[in-house]
A and B are shown apart, each in its own frame.
Chain A
Amino acid sequence: MTAIVLYVNGQTRQVDVDPATPLLYVLRNELGMNGAKFGCGLGQCGACTVMLDGEASFSCLIPVEMAEGRTIKTVEGLGTTQQPGILQRAFIEEQAAQCGYCIAGMMMRAQALLERNSSPSDVEIRRHMAPNLCRCGTHMRILRAVRRAANRMHDV
């Protein structure tokens, strides 16, 4: 066990864990942030996607010690149930979730794109979102939600 300081959603949090623990487990079990999900544990599905220093990253593949001192953003950082963020609102409006298991990861991957490029083309959205999978098959709605969020961010 080692004390590790994490910077998550603008807050400094200290955890006492095995430094090799995947970041995903620490977020869920130590910090109670259950947005990011365990899907495959192999970086093949994207359910665990969070943002690390602005980039979409698979939190199941990142040992927590390697996230120390870096800026972590999870879906909890995008808004609340009462006040959903722009991207979250767009997902609700497009009814992009079916079972919802992939959605937190989808949003964090999309957020990484929109923070870098607020007016992506449809092709850019598609290419960027490719690593994240949805088994219900709501990909088309998800793409529409990202488009909607991009348009709104651009208008703001």
Chain B
Amino acid sequence: MLVAVALFWAVALVAQPWHTAIAAEPLRSITRFDGALVDHGARLAALGNCASCHTAQDGPPYAGGVPLTTPFGTIYGTNVTPDPETGIGNWSEAAFKRAMRKGIAQDGRFLYPAFPYDHFTHATNDDLNALYAFLMTRQPVQSRPPANQLYFPFTVRESVAVWNLLFLRNEPFRPDPAQGVEWNRGAYLVQSLGHCGSCHTPRNALGGEQRRAALQGGEAEGWYAPALDAQSPSPLPWTVGQLTDYLRTGIASDHAIAGGPMQEVVASLGQASAEDIRAIAVYVTALMASSPDGNQSRATATRRRAAQPLANILPAANDAQMRLGAAVYAESCAACHDQGRLSSSNSALQLPLAAAVYEPDPRNLIHIVREGISPVEGMPGRWMPAFGGSLTDEQLTALAIYLRRYAANASPWLHVEKVVKETKK
């Protein structure tokens, strides 16, 4: 162990030259920013959802303090308002760009990669200039986030040097000349400011994204972040239109209603540039499409199944759990979700189309049933009641097993009961 730690330090020290402070540049010396540039920056900040880590619940915008739970401890989002003492008010544009691209703060300290500079490193100069203009024109707020609570050796910031050596590819985005402008813009945004891979790519033991499994499905706050490539769980192929709608409103009638951490992302994406969101949809739908023929036959079969009332299927009478699941479905879900019983808002997902029942594990389904879906405060959106107070763990387990069998017609999930316990808040 001691040898490993020593080796770790040796590598850390040799791996990366020390970074020096970039001279503090008081905000007053910055004359003014062009309004159009600030607006562009605002849309990019929305696209990158900076606020999710840098704006605390009910706190002032971008003043930091959001706790992020990682396997390495808890890290608090920093204050990125132009306050000179506690924010980035003294940061020059060069210092800001170095932070975004290399994860080094203005004073030379290593920033922790909970800040996804491994994605932002690919951002263009133009986009970073705009983001800088946007942040520097925010209301300065004097506020120091709580101290991080990390485990050794991560308490020592230099340990990040090793991480950077392993996982930081400090290079600009390279467009694919074989693809169109929109595809390339989408690819650029997904890989850089959008940092989609932070959740949708699986991570290794050191918290680095598994490059070979890029966008093949990851995790966010106990939710499954679905695969965005050919492994996409949705039985109907996503179209550019449906994915654009989903990213801007959280609603895709043929696939999903955004829940969990994605809800907040969507609320932010709604403020981004419509063209940029469409470009992301163009790129991601292209990633998802692998064998159009196979997808087509699966889609037809799914549509046919979705046209049948789910509740009419009578599960084998001797399977008590399946019967319980069917009963829960019939009484608690079917009034809104079942074909032929559509009522009221006429808008609940037909469950044979719902991505959640096709995912590799039942986490998202259980989260949604238990917690319901309520729009982000102040935003419009779909509403589904939370059933956590009504359904017992046993009923929830039975429902998930039933839906996997009769809505998805897929092979049973393993350990549903365990997931029901683990996802409990």
> Interface on A for B, CB 8 Å cutoff?
19-20, 22, 40-44, 52-53, 55-58, 61-63, 65-66, 70, 112, 123, 127, 130-131
Contact = CB atoms under 8 A, between A and B. Distances in A.
Contact of B374 (A53, A56, A70, A130): A130
Contacts of A57: 389-390
Given A22-B331, A55-B389, A55-B390, 8 more contacts: A20-B330, A20-B331, A40-B344, A42-B335, A44-B383, A66-B331, A130-B374, A131-B372
B35 interface: no
Contact of A56 (B58, B344, B389, B395): B389
Contacts of A131: 372, 374, 385-386
Contacts of A127: 377
B391 interface: yes
A127 B386 CA distance: 13
Contact of B343 (A19, A20, A42): A42
Interface in B184-235: none
Interface of B: 58, 327-328, 330-332, 335-336, 343-345, 372, 374, 377, 383, 385-392, 395
9 contacts: A20-B331, A41-B335, A52-B390, A61-B331, A61-B390, A65-B327, A66-B328, A66-B392, A131-B372
A52 B389 contact: yes
B331 A62 contact: yes
Residue of B343, B345, B383, B390 ringed by the most chain A CB atoms within 10 A? B390
Nearest to A121: B58
Contacts of A44: 344-345, 383, 385
Contacts of B389: 52-53, 55-57, 112
A42 B332 contact: no
A107 to B, nearest CB: 16
A62 B332 contact: yes
Nearest to B386: A131
B395 A66 contact: yes
Nearest to B336: A42
Contacts of B332: 43, 61-63
A63 B387 CA distance: 13
A73 to B, nearest CB: 12
A66 B391 contact: yes
B388 A55 contact: yes
A131 B343 CA distance: 19
B335 A123 contact: no
Contacts of B335: 41-42, 61
A58 B390 contact: yes
Contact of A43 (B330, B374, B385, B395): B385
B347 to A, nearest CB: 11
